[in-house]
Amino acid sequence: MAKGGSPPDGELVQLLTPEGERIESVTGSDGTVYRVDFTDEEYRGLYRDLVIVRKLDAEATALQRQGELGIWASLLGQEAAQVGSGRALKPQDMAFPTYREHGVLYCRGIDPIMPLGLFRGVDQGGWDPNEFKFNMYTIVIGAQTLHATGYAMGVTMDGKTGTDDGEAVIAYFGDGATSQGDVNEAFIWAGVFNAPLVFFCQNNQYAISEPLERQTRIPLYRRAAGFGFPGIRVDGNDVLASYAVTRAALDHARLGQGPTMIEAYTYRMGAHTTSDDPTRYRIASEVEAWQAKDPILRVRAFLEKQQIADTAFFAEVDEQAKREAVHLRERVLAMPDPEPVTIFDHVYPHGSPLVDEQRERFTRYQASFEGSAH
């Protein structure tokens, strides 16, 4: 697969070009028509989401560099895929993320400080998956696709599909995860049991340091056919197309028509995580080629060309993003370190004779250090 350019087979759903030109609709090979019908306010809202999500992500990266987070997985460059798909979810739909879906998390209404607590090491992530319909971050590569498949099978067993207001499930993963056994097993089970599930692969071109050609000999979306369900590739830097394709796939699932795989063709502009050095395995010209496809710049160009937004609007959005980033930083720095004994409070919140005994012994052990230099 060519680096830094368009997919070689030309099959790519795009509704907004890198120059900000609007495409009215695109018809897929199966006859599905992809389009969006947004108001001017909704277009401006998508731009606001993209800018704020990027700014918060940049602040988290800065916090890690300053020693305030243990690690951070940036979404830089992938904002459109996440915001587009995140806004396509209905309130009843359930999402299963990796550790990079900060944009989807934001779209689900979760306080953006929540994943920073996880990466600061003060908690395991503090949101309620049932309340927000957004599962906890998953560090093990690809494991969440099996969780999502099981959950989706349960949705079917509960009779919650077959209508326009039925439930659907979405599982996020990267291109590298497609080489994991868990993901392929999830494909098999979802296909065989016709699970109401969307597999959303953010193909950012690299599995940490391995390029896509080390992962597959064919475009990723075409793998779906081997498991018996449709696959489609979308311009992952196009927030409108990402929305339209995801909404269509989710509706397909909620009506009881089974799974779909979406390959969001995008690019990781930064490091895989803050412990990675991407300059060791990719060249600057490749990054520059993708910078010309920046998901935020193309939406801004569209808004300007259509006179949907003016300079004052863009300045106001930038100021809001800055305020939210500063507020996020202040709250992270104010996070108290948890008492070590709280490790016993969560897995077995009601305790047990054995856990209670272990807790008591641990408490005595900690108390033995009082007054010492340890």
- Catalytic residues, by residue number, are 268, 272, 281
Question: 10 Å Cβ neighbour count for 356?
Answer: 12
Phi and psi dihedrals of 259, rounded to 5?
-80, 160
Structural contact between residues 301 and 49, judged by C-beta atoms closer than 8 angstroms: no
d(CA 274, CA 59): 13
Local structure of 171: helix, strand or coil: strand
Local structure of 261: helix, strand or coil: strand
Structural contact between residues 256 and 168, judged by C-beta atoms closer than 8 angstroms: no
d(CA 211, CA 219): 13
Strands 197-203 and 260-265, bridge-based pairing: parallel
The tokens of 12 are what? 């790519």
Can you list the alpha helix ranges (DSSP code H) found in the chain? 40-65, 79-88, 102-107, 114-120, 129-132, 143-157, 181-192, 239-254, 284-291, 295-305, 311-333, 353-367
Give the DSSP H or E segment for 96.
strand 94-96
Residue type, 168: A
d(CA 137, CA 159): 27
**DSSP state letter for 137:** P
d(CA 191, CA 295): 32
